[in-house]
Amino acid sequence: MNHDLTIIEPQMAASPLDANQQIALLEQELAVLRQEQEHLKTEALALKESSSLYQQAMAAASNGISLASATLPDEPLIYVNAAFEQVTGYSAAEVLGHNCRFLQGPATDPLAVKAIRQAINEGCVGHTTLLNYRKDGAPFWNEFSIAPIHDAQGNLTHFVGIQADVTARKQAELALQESEQRFASIIGSAMDSIISIDEKHQILLFNAAAETMFGYKAAEVLGKDLTFLLPGRYHQHHSQHITTFSQTKTTKRSMGTLDLVYGLRSDDTEFPIEASISQVEVSGQKIMTVILRDVTERQRAEEERHRLQEEIIRIQSSILQELSTPLIPLSDDIVVLPLIGSVDTLRANQVMETLLHGVERQRARIAILDITGVPVVDTQVANALMHAAQAVQLLGAQVILTGIRPEIAQTLVGLGINFGKIVTRGTLQSGIAYAMGQDQMV
Ligand SMILES: Cc1cc2nc3c(=O)[nH]c(=O)nc-3n(C[C@H](O)[C@H](O)[C@H](O)COP(=O)(O)O)c2cc1C
């Protein structure tokens, strides 16, 4: 709207006006002036109304609004709204005339403050989130922005600041950040490889243990198919296994049932692994996590343990064999083999072997086979003992069978066993006596 007054110049010089004409002219001018006055009144009213509307809007705003002078030294506040008072706990009266830095404190990030200082110095828009302190000393996160205000001539006159208390959001962000860090450090410090894949079996997560185990950096394998880490012969079977698992409702399972037990390192070497798999659905996306343990050492230890066990069993059995068929030399010519406990075919064979070797080694003339300690002598045992005695005789030695108790003698007779040239004695002593040439009963 044009506020300039329109002045109608009286035409005095052209032809002098009479009094009536002059009065009419003045009335005309007066009417124009009255009209202008009405305009100005209306405008002033409108301005007043809109200014009070702005003030009401600022007062009702839920964000803090502040105005600072850009022409006075140290940008003092000249206006703060009710929300500013509410958020900061300071009344307008307490803060007007002061720079807004009174809201800052020990944990306010100096870099954020520096960015605002720069925006003010350059007379431009600035935006930051920083820690401020209420009047009662309680900290709050203030997301605030400042913008320059210029007059009609383009001179910088003020800065307007908008403050928003974003403490709740910031705390949630920090909590999320912390929990992510915690999660990352747990995953990162795990001894087992943790590898997560999506429904297409593409690797989403590859922890530090997996990096060490497979010899790849996470960046090298992320997005790759999981089979990248397996020897080729397992690819098809493995993919099928994972697909089947993802289609089940099962949330976790050991992969022990799967024949696959080998991983493939970046240097193409293979290593045995123990695996388990679990699945979760996050925001509609299925994520499967495979936990792998390198069992090379365990397998090696198991093999060693197995080898040692076999060795112990072998030594034990040879000791037992020696103990079960002990050959005692009585003199240069005579050896005694006392048998204790039951005798089966295997032991009878051992008896034969021990006797033959002993007789040959000692060049013995007489071998005494004592069965005092054998509880049962059946056909099989009797035959086996007879074979042993006959074999010894073939070496040129004589066999004396001692310890034949009456019931055994009865059994042997009942069995119809032919003792041929084998000398028999009831007791070991009489057998020894015989062998020593003291027995006269032969
Ligand atoms: C309009 C306006 C509002 C401001 N509001 C805040 C605020 O809410 N919190 C804050 O820490 N700083 C605020 N500042 C910034 C500080 O007043 C000051 O400019 C900042 O600390 C950088 O200056 P300095 O380095 O001299 O302290 C505001 C500045 C202006 C001009």
Q: What is the pLDDT of residues 123-138, one digit of tens each?
A: 999 999 999 999 999 9
Supply φ then ψ for residue 355, to 5 degrees: -60, -50
Instruction: Give the distance (Å) from ligand 1 centre to CA of residue 81.
Output: 16
pLDDT confidence bin for 50, thresholds 50/70/90: confident
What is the CA angle 380-384-389, rounded to 5?
A: 150
Is the C-beta atom of 163 inside 6 A of ligand 1? yes
Q: What is the pLDDT of residues 279-306, one digit of tens each?
A: 888 888 889 999 998 888 888 998 999 9
Write down the pLDDT at residue 72.
96
Is the C-beta atom of 165 inside 6 A of ligand 1? no
Contact 237, 262 (CB under 8 A): no
pLDDT of 313 strictly over 80:
yes
Write down the pLDDT at residue 4.
47
pLDDT of 101 strictly over 90:
yes
Is the C-beta atom of 117 inside 6 A of ligand 1? yes
Of 85 and 245, which is predicted with more confidence? 85
Instruction: Give the distance (Å) from ligand 1 centre to CA of residue 101.
Output: 5
Q: What is the pLDDT of residues 183-196, one digit of tens each?
A: 999 999 998 999 99
Write down the pLDDT at residue 100.
97
Ligand 1 atom at minimal distance to the Cα of residue 116: 22
Of 397 and 104, which is predicted with more confidence? 104
pLDDT confidence bin for 163, thresholds 50/70/90: very high
Is the C-beta atom of 120 inside 6 A of ligand 1? yes
2-30 average pLDDT score: 69
- Quick one: 190-294 is in which CATH superfamily? PAS domain (3.30.450.20)
Nearest CA to ligand 1 atom 14: 100
Ligand 1 atom at minimal distance to the Cα of residue 77: 1
Instruction: Give the distance (Å) from ligand 1 centre to CA of residue 64.
Output: 13
Q: Percentage helix, strand, coil, to 5, in the chain?
A: 45, 25, 30
Write down the pLDDT at residue 343.
80
- What is the CATH code for 61-171? 3.30.450.20
Nearest CA to ligand 1 atom 24: 117
Nearest to 258 by CA among 294, 278, 232, 234: 234
Asked if 61-171 and 325-435 have one fold, the answer is: no
Write down the pLDDT at residue 194.
95
Instruction: Please report, for the chain, the start and end positions of each structural domain, with discontinuous segments joined by +.
Output: 61-171, 190-294, 325-435
CATH of 325-435, one of 3.40.50.720, 1.10.357.10, 3.90.550.10, 3.30.750.24: 3.30.750.24
Is the C-beta atom of 294 inside 6 A of ligand 1? no
Is the C-beta atom of 431 inside 6 A of ligand 1? no
Ligand 1 atom at minimal distance to the Cα of residue 114: 25
Q: What is the pLDDT of residues 204-262, one digit of tens each?
A: 999 999 999 999 999 999 999 999 999 998 888 878 888 888 787 776 666 654 445 78
Q: What is the pLDDT of residues 342-370, one digit of tens each?
A: 888 788 888 888 888 888 888 889 999 99
What is the CA angle 6-7-13, rounded to 5?
A: 150
Nearest CA to ligand 1 atom 18: 101
Nearest CA to ligand 1 atom 7: 100
Write down the pLDDT at residue 14.
55
Burial degree of 30 (CB within 10 A; 0-12, 13-18, 19+): exposed
Q: Which two tokens stand for residue 199?
A: 């429904």
- Residue to mutate (ligand 1; options 66, 101, 108, 125; most atoms within 8 A of CB): 101
